[in-house]
Amino acid sequence: MSERTEIAELGEFGLIDHLTKNFEIQNVSSVLGVGDDAAVIDHFGKQTVITNDLLIEGVHFDLMYTPLKHLGYKTVVVNVSDIYAMNATPTQIILGLGFSNRFSLEALDEFYEGVHAACDHYGVDLIGGDTSSSQKGFIISCTAIGEVTPDTYVKRSTAQKGDLLCVSGDLGAAYLGLTLLEREKRIFLESPGVQPDLEGEKYIVGRILKPEARKDIIQFFAENGIQPTSMIDVSDGLSSEILHLCKDSELGCVLYEEKIPIAEDARQAAFKFNLDPTACALSGGEDYELLFTVKQDDYDKIAANTDISVIGYMAEAEAGSHIYTKGGNKFPITAQGWNAFNKQ
Amino acid sequence: MSERTEIAELGEFGLIDHLTKNFEIQNVSSVLGVGDDAAVIDHFGKQTVITNDLLIEGVHFDLMYTPLKHLGYKTVVVNVSDIYAMNATPTQIILGLGFSNRFSLEALDEFYEGVHAACDHYGVDLIGGDTSSSQKGFIISCTAIGEVTPDTYVKRSTAQKGDLLCVSGDLGAAYLGLTLLEREKRIFLESPGVQPDLEGEKYIVGRILKPEARKDIIQFFAENGIQPTSMIDVSDGLSSEILHLCKDSELGCVLYEEKIPIAEDARQAAFKFNLDPTACALSGGEDYELLFTVKQDDYDKIAANTDISVIGYMAEAEAGSHIYTKGGNKFPITAQGWNAFNKQ
């Protein structure tokens, strides 16, 4: 960055005006946006869905290898992904930021550029926020609001025995991208002259730095009359999310290792790092894919979408939750997915 | 605190279950609360109002003299106050917390006790949240949602020339309470044996540590058919809030010093600290009273409520925004209210 404007020069309200002036309202339901005590949303005939995430520097992101623009984009993605996981359409976000005086206005502008790009892509309106100083680091609080046709939202707790367990896209790549970035950071800290070696790793790095939420899957459900019986987004790793669906629905499940979708680029990266690709998918997290269950009758509809994989099925609670490996073994699924395997 | 349970013992989801298990849903519109990707609110026939505040340790509060239970209570108050400032009724909150491992479960329980007490008092439901570790300090993100009869919400930008400028309760006491607590903290740090001297200062200390939002004023408006023409809550000091109404409504105003409501306890405390009580009211902040304008025709209705003071009126923009002092002088109102006076 060539310029540096001290945020103190603008004052809090000048700053909010500056940061939000390029956001145009996209939804009729956004009756009143930024600039008052609260925002107003009009959702006649719809139900409102709302979620909040707190992202803290040093815990959720590392600014050493995360461009602020990407961080802004990802902030929106992480939140709208939670709205999609309810089978709802995101319509608004509210952003609260805390930052120390180490941040310049140009740095915040970069962050908001990413927020803006994501708002455009997902069709959501930034309708409010709060900015504050922090003693240390960058703190992001994002609230996302969405709407859904009454009683078509999808909970985690309503899967039924025999339902098919499905996941969108592919898994594990974000974790491998993070592993690569952390390795390059260590190398850089030890030998600052060495340039990062990210050649050929665009896919996995993109998955961690600029993930996308699965708007298309929700649209596919609507267009094909599919009502998932339960759903959750994959933010913490496949095994943790599967166990959420099982616990909340009071069921067990059967998962087939060979059915877990893993991109070829991720598989190659895993081998380079001496990691098991399946372990990365089970425990890696940050993929922001959708994990859901559908009735067996919907199998044909689901199979028509090549970006959805059927990876198992729901079983009765007494049967527990298990994964069948490619080698023909059966292990209980744990929140740290691969731990059970490591003990063998 | 006699007990200390490490938060790591529960895990994130165990922690959320633990913290939220005593919250009962109070509003029919809270269709789905804590425990899924997002919450669902049903607001048929109403408009939804939403606001978010980020509270950061060391910036917004000092745990050295802020009991966690009071902090939890105040977190809710600060947010519902923004909802009332829209002439709306708060119905739900979502809480995001970041905390370092210095916090025990018992500490979080105390915080949630305060949240619970405030939810009960204001009739709001805790419907979701996010907990996270932080590298340093306690970080609180609170989103409040409210409902309002369509098109009766009150903005900052709709005051008219000639409207009466009114404020609820009294001002400046919270700032004096803070001043007292900061003084006692300094004394304690210099001489740890000395007990804090808060004798007789219950009112001002209560105003900073356990403020209340003006639910009663919104109810009074509804019961008496009063529709304020503009409104804002007093979080940053009277002069800053007046300037918001003036700027957003493209008006000026006249404010009378003698009409500014100041409690006798606050007046006495100000004299002890060698501060001007009016300066404390103008620049102090954190009073969480409501500042609003009404049509002149509503004067009789407003006058019937002894807890509302008419402190001036809105003027045309060209006239500027001025305060007439008790001594008969006229000064421009600035965001730091009293600065203009100090220069004399």
- Any known ligand binding at A129? yes
Whether residue B219 is found in the same domain as residue B290: yes
Whether residue A20 is found in the same domain as residue A142: yes
How far apart, in whole angstroms, are the C-alpha atoms of residue B204 and residue B183? 14
Of A116, A148, A180, the one marking the end of a domain is A148
> Is residue B153 less than 8 Å (CB to CB) from chain A?
yes
B156 within a domain of the structure (yes/no): no
Whether residue B18 is found in the same domain as residue B136: yes
The Cα-based distances of A136 to A103, A139, B58, B59, B96 in angstroms read 11, 9, 10, 10, 18
Is the Cβ pair B38, A51 closer than 8 Å?
Answer: yes
Who has greater pLDDT, B58 or B21?
B58
Q: Evaluate whether B146 touches B86 at the Cβ level (below 8 Å).
A: yes
Rounded to a whole number of angstroms, the distance between the first and last alpha carbons of chain B is 51
Whether residue A217 is found in the same domain as residue A193: yes
Structure confidence by residue, pLDDT tens digits, A165-223: 999 999 999 999 999 999 999 988 888 777 777 777 999 999 999 999 999 999 999 99
CATH number for B283? 3.90.650.10
CATH number for B67? 3.30.1330.10
Whether residue B201 is found in the same domain as residue B266: yes
> Is residue A328 less than 8 Å (CB to CB) from chain B?
no
Across all residues in chain A, what is the average pLDDT?
89
Whether residue A213 is found in the same domain as residue A285: yes
Is the Cβ pair B47, A41 closer than 8 Å?
Answer: yes
Interface test with A, best of B20, B31, B40 (most A CBs within 10 A): B40
At CA A216, angle to CA A211 and CA A221, rounded to 5?
Answer: 135
**Average pLDDT estimate for B262-284:** 96
What does the pLDDT read at residue B4?
A: 77
Of B116, B148, B180, the one marking the end of a domain is B148
What does the pLDDT read at residue A139?
A: 94
Q: Which token pair is B335?
A: 């965001």
Is the Cβ pair A40, B47 closer than 8 Å?
Answer: yes
Q: Evaluate whether B38 touches A80 at the Cβ level (below 8 Å).
A: no
**Average pLDDT estimate for B251-274:** 97
Is the Cβ pair B42, A133 closer than 8 Å?
Answer: no
Whether residue A191 is found in the same domain as residue A240: yes
Of B52, B134, B139, the CB nearest to A129: B52
A153 within a domain of the structure (yes/no): no
Position A93, amino acid: I
pLDDT at A93 over 80: yes
* Token pair 């990210």: residue: A198
| Residue closest to B90 by CA, chosen among B122, B53, B45, B44 | B122
Q: Percent of chain B, pLDDT > 70?
A: 92
> Is residue B277 less than 8 Å (CB to CB) from chain A?
no
Is the Cβ pair A56, B129 closer than 8 Å?
Answer: no
Q: Which residue of B has its CA nearest to A153?
A: B40
Who has greater pLDDT, A40 or A77?
A77
What does the pLDDT read at residue B144?
A: 92
A157 within a domain of the structure (yes/no): no
pLDDT at A342 over 50: no
Of A119, A148, A177, the one marking the end of a domain is A148
**Average pLDDT estimate for A132-143:** 89
Whether residue A319 is found in the same domain as residue A190: yes
B154 within a domain of the structure (yes/no): no
**Average pLDDT estimate for A4-15:** 71
The residue range of the domain holding B118 is 7-148
Q: Evaluate whether A168 touches A307 at the Cβ level (below 8 Å).
A: yes
Position A242, amino acid: I
B1 within a domain of the structure (yes/no): no
pLDDT at A40 over 80: no
A216 within a domain of the structure (yes/no): yes
Across all residues in chain B, what is the average pLDDT?
89
pLDDT class of B85 with cuts at 50, 70, 90: very high
Name the B residues in 15-34 with CB < 8 Å from any A CB.
31-32
> B80: distance to nearest CA of chain A, Å?
10
What does the pLDDT read at residue B195?
A: 76
pLDDT at B136 over 90: no
Whether residue B174 is found in the same domain as residue B267: yes
Whether residue B114 is found in the same domain as residue B193: no
A116 within a domain of the structure (yes/no): yes
Rounded to a whole number of angstroms, the distance between the first and last alpha carbons of chain A is 51
A155 within a domain of the structure (yes/no): no
What does the pLDDT read at residue A337?
A: 41
pLDDT at A24 over 70: yes
| Residue closest to A130 by CA, chosen among A11, A13, A9, A5 | A13
Interface test with B, best of A30, A50, A56 (most B CBs within 10 A): A50
Structurally, chain A folds into a number of domains equal to 2
Q: Which token pair is B2?
A: 């006699």
Structure confidence by residue, pLDDT tens digits, B114-123: 999 999 999 9
Q: Which residue of A has its CA nearest to B231?
A: A37
Whether residue A176 is found in the same domain as residue A117: no
Decide if the complex's ipTM is over 0.95: no
Q: Evaluate whether A173 touches A281 at the Cβ level (below 8 Å).
A: no
Whether residue B38 is found in the same domain as residue B131: yes
pLDDT at A129 over 50: yes
